[in-house]
């Protein structure tokens, strides 16, 4: 029985063709992948199928109802998790769930049996605001909100972006449980292990269907896109002629970060619990851990955004307790949400941040032209940043964060939700920065990226559980790759979310 039927759908935004003559169908109860690089048209397709957007051409049905004429019937039958969590951050867990139940004309009590297995995992936090939840907990709440009205079709637009590997595995285990109940699941994901969890996938690129088949067939057929050279093997990546070679190994005296017995407590809770480490100049240092392990809190102390409860540390030679304003002038910072101004053009963003960093006007002008050439953005310098694909935004945000040649750049999950080819290009920029002597302090939930780091620290329950090169950690823990290393350590966590 067909659950979704898409025939010759096209959608444009001005001169941009988001979808071009797209056709595919999904069987009832199937786990179906809608995959492709940034800007492929996936989100536009979701919005059309959820009756949030009208197609220019073509037809589509969901459970037999036309997306135009049967809008009300479809909305009662579908659940939707958009790429960014749809939760209201200022509402509690329970208030979010009640709100979504009300939207669909039902109650939490009426739909409780359909979400029980998932919601019970976070129900003890019912009075906690959604904004205070870890990524894994937000996932479970968002999925509960999407299921509370007992839909027959579930649309998931990159629901695990920014979530650690263990929580991602748990999420897909929950999806397997939903499949057993006969729910049709259509999911997008940039993670190849999640693509392989689908029964079939449609691969979109530039709005066109490039192929529809089992995951392995599509991944092999388009290996140059999904497995570009260097993504799977860090040592191979480092040896690529197209990438800059790393600078000579710095001596131990060139530490640019020194941390000793650092603690950050919130009441009786120690978010960061007595950590010590050093980072050398020009080193790519991976700072890993599950959601809630304490990574972000530690980074906030190192970047001068928060004060430690106890312990000591220096960043670029400045004391994190007393010289945080000096630290801010000597570092770059980029988060997953990046800090670019979407209503300014590419060139305006570059000039603005150059001024913020205290650079002179002539230097800003010269370096802006150089950066536009390096990124091949010359033709897009007057485009609004908000109109750029996610991968472009992130490459620009990274380049802006090191525009003033800081001693250290802090990258907080910089490639979240980005396709493999764009991630590889991003890491080429990271290697170039390290080659120029800029220390890169990076957090990531992509374990293939962990392989690219010179050294790695893995936090568990606020403490550093392991530290070393990727090869050292794999050898010491007897694990085949960094994904297994991370999972092995993260599952030893004792404190809850």
For residues 490 and 18, the model is more confident at: 18
Q: Classify the phi-psi angles of 150: left when phi > 0, otherwise alpha if psi is within -120 to 50, otherwise beta.
A: left
Residue 44 Cα distances to 39, 207, 354, 389, 408, angstroms: 10, 9, 35, 13, 38
* pLDDT > 70 in the chain, percent: 93
Mean pLDDT of 338-342: 82
pTM: 0.80
The Cα–Cα gap between 297 and 305 comes to: 9
The pLDDT value given to residue 136: 77
Mean pLDDT of 314-340: 88
Mean pLDDT of 89-103: 93
Strand 2-13 with 57-62, pairing = antiparallel
Evaluate if residue 252 carries a pLDDT over 50. no
Reported as a single tens digit per residue, the pLDDT across 387-440 is 887 778 888 999 999 999 999 999 988 888 788 888 888 898 999 999 999 999
Evaluate if residue 66 carries a pLDDT over 90. yes
Strand order in the sheet with 57-62: 16-27, 2-13, 57-62, 65-66
Reported as a single tens digit per residue, the pLDDT across 346-361 is 999 999 999 988 889 9
Evaluate if residue 367 carries a pLDDT over 70. yes
The Cα–Cα gap between 46 and 38 comes to: 14
Reported as a single tens digit per residue, the pLDDT across 261-296 is 999 999 988 999 999 999 999 999 999 998 788 898
Q: End-to-end CA distance of the chain: give it in Å, rounded.
A: 40
The pLDDT value given to residue 338: 65
Ordered alpha helix ranges (H), 257-316: 295-302
Reported as a single tens digit per residue, the pLDDT across 159-215 is 888 788 888 888 899 899 999 999 999 999 989 999 999 999 999 999 999 999 999
Reported as a single tens digit per residue, the pLDDT across 447-479 is 989 999 999 999 999 999 999 999 999 999 999
């Amino acid at each position: 029985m067909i659950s979704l039927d898409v025939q010759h759908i096209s959608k444009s935004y001005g001169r941009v063709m988001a979808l071009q003559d797209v056709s595919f169908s999904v069987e009832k109860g199937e786990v179906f992948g809608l995959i492709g690089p940034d800007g492929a048209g996936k989100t536009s397709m979701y919005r059309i199928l959820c009756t949030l957007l009208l197609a220019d051409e073509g037809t589509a049905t969901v459970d037999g109802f036309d997306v135009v004429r049967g809008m009300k019937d479809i909305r009662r039958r579908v659940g939707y998790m958009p790429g960014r969590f749809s939760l209201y951050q200022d509402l509690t867990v329970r208030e979010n769930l009640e709100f979504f139940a009300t939207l669909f004309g039902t109650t939490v009590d009426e739909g409780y049996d359909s979400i029980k297995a998932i919601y019970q995992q976070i129900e003890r936090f019912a009075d906690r605001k959604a904004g205070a939840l870890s990524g894994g907990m937000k996932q479970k709440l968002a999925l509960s909100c999407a299921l509370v009205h007992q839909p027959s079709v579930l649309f998931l637009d990159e629901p695990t972006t920014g979530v650690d590997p263990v929580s991602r595995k748990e999420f897909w285990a929950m999806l397997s449980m939903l499949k057993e109940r006969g729910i049709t699941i259509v999911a997008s994901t940039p993670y190849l292990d999640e693509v392989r969890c689908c029964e079939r996938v449609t691969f979109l690129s530039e709005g066109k269907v490039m192929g529809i088949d089992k995951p392995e067939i599509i991944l092999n057929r388009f290996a140059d896109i999904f497995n570009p050279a260097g993504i799977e093997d860090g040592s191979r990546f480092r040896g690529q002629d197209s990438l800059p070679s790393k600078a000579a190994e710095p001596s131990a005296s060139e530490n640019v970060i020194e941390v000793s017995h650092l603690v950050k407590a919130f009441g009786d809770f120690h978010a960061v619990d007595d950590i010590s480490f050093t980072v050398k100049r020009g080193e790519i240092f991976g700072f890993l851990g599950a959601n809630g392990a304490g990574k972000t809190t530690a980074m906030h102390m190192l970047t001068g955004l928060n004060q430690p409860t106890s312990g000591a540390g220096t960043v670029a030679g400045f004391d994190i307790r007393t010289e945080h304003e000096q630290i801010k002038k000597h570092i770059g910072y980029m988060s997953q949400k990046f800090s670019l101004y979407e209503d300014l053009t590419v060139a305006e963003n570059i000039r603005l941040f150059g001024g913020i960093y205290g650079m002179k006007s002539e230097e800003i002008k010269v370096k802006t032209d150089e950066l536009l050439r390096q990124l091949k953005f010359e033709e897009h310098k007057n485009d609004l940043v908000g109109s750029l694909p996610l991968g472009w935004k992130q490459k620009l945000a990274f380049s802006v964060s090191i525009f003033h040649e800081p001693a250290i750049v802090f990258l907080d999950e910089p490639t979240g939700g980005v396709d493999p080819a764009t991630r590889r290009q991003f890491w080429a920029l990271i290697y170039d920065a390290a080659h120029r002597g800029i220390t890169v302090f990076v957090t990531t939930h992509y374990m293939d990226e962990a392989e690219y780091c010179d050294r790695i620290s893995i936090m568990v329950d606020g403490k550093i559980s392991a530290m070393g090169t990727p090869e050292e950690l794999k050898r010491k823990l007897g694990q085949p790759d960094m994904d297994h290393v991370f999972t092995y350590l993260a599952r030893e966590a004792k404190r809850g979310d």
